[in-house]
Amino acid sequence: MATHFFADTAALTGRSLRHVTRSLDTIITTAVTPVALMLLFVYVFGGAIDTGSDSYVSYMLPGILLITIASGIAYTAHRLFMDMQSGVFERFQSMPIVRSGVLWAHVLTSVTANLISLLIVVGVAILMGFRTGAGVMAWLVVVGILVLFTLALTWLAVIAGLSAKTVDGATAFSYPLIFLPFISSAFVPTETMPGPVRAFAEHQPVTSIVNTIRDLFTQQPIGDDMWIALGWCVGILLAGYGLAMGAYRRKIA
C-alpha cells in the first residue's frame, strides 16, 4: 500500500509540477508582491523605524518570507479548484490510484513552488543589503520552519479549494493570512503597539515564527519562541490535514 501511495503521489506531483512550469508567471507573481513590500518598507519607511543595530532589510526579511508563502498558497487553492471544476478528480476516481495522492500532489507542488519563490525573495534581499552570519545548521532550521509553515497553510488552501463555489472564493481565504504579519513583530517591535494590538501581536503564530527566524539569522539565543512556533505550525498542520481529508471524502463520496 505504501509503495502504491508513493508511486501514485510522485506521478501526480509530476503532472502538477508540469502545469506550474508551463505558467512560471505564477511563481514570479508570488514573489513580486513580497519584493515590492520589501522595497517599500526599506526605502520609504525603514528610516523611521528603530531596529537597533540590525539593518531594516535584515529585520523585516522573516516577515516577508511568511508573506511570500501566504501569497503562494492561493495558487494551490486555485489549481485545486480548477481541477475540481474540470472533472479531473472524477477521472482519477475511476483509476486504480491511491485517492489521497491527488491532494498530496498539490501539497508537494505548493512546497516546491514556494521554495522557488522564497529563493527569489532572499536573492533580492541580499542585493538590498541583507547579511547574516548564520551557519549551515541555522539555515537548515530556517528552511525546515518555512517548509513546515508552508505545509500547514497549504492544507488550509486545500480546504478552500475543495469547498469554494467560485475561483475567487478559492483564493480569497489567503488575504487574511497575507495581512497577519502586519500585526506581528515582522515590521515593527511589538513594544511600540497599543495595548490590545500588542496583546494580539504577541500571541499569534506569525510573531513566534518571525522571532525564531530572526534570532537564527542574527545568531541570538532562540528561547521559547522556537517551540511556540513549532507548536503553532504542527497544530495548524494537523487541524488543516484532518479537515481537508474530511472535505475530500465528502466530495468524492
Would you say residue 207 has pLDDT above 90? yes
One DSSP character per residue, 121-172 reads HHHHHHHTT------HHHHHHHHHHHHHHHHHHHHHHHHHHHH-SSHHHHHH
Q: Do 203 and 229 contact (CB within 8 A), yes or no? A: no
Lowest-confidence region among 57-66, 73-82, 178-187, 202-211: 73-82
Question: 122, exposed or middle or buried, with CB in 10 Å at 0-12, 13-18, 19+?
Answer: middle
- For the residues 28-34, what does the mean pLDDT come to? 79
Which phi-psi region, left, alpha or beta, contains residue 220 (left: φ > 0; alpha: ψ -120 to 50)? beta
How far apart (Å, rounded) are the C-alpha atoms in residues 253 and 244?
14
Taking only the tens place, the pLDDT of each residue in 209-244 is 999 999 999 988 888 899 999 999 999 999 999 999
Q: Give residue 123's identity as a one-letter amino acid code.
A: G
Q: Give residue 66's identity as a one-letter amino acid code.
A: L
How far apart (Å, rounded) are the C-alpha atoms in residues 20 and 79?
10
Q: Do 62 and 41 contact (CB within 8 A), yes or no? A: no
pLDDT on residue 5: 66
Taking only the tens place, the pLDDT of each residue in 135-150 is 999 999 999 999 999 9
Taking only the tens place, the pLDDT of each residue in 64-108 is 999 999 988 888 888 888 877 776 666 666 665 666 677 888 888
Would you say residue 198 has pLDDT above 70? yes
> In whole numbers, what is the pLDDT of the chain averaged over residues?
84
Q: Comparing 201 with 172, which gets the higher pLDDT?
A: 201
Q: How many CA atoms lie within 13 A of 204 on its CB side?
A: 18
| Number of structural domains the chain divides into | 1
How far apart (Å, rounded) are the C-alpha atoms in residues 20 and 152?
21
Q: Do 174 and 73 contact (CB within 8 A), yes or no? A: yes
How far apart (Å, rounded) are the C-alpha atoms in residues 34 and 186?
13
pLDDT on residue 202: 92
Can you give the residue range of the structural domain that contains 48? 2-252
- For the residues 17-36, what does the mean pLDDT come to? 74
pLDDT on residue 122: 94
Q: Do 162 and 246 contact (CB within 8 A), yes or no? A: no
Indicate the pTM of the whole model: 0.89
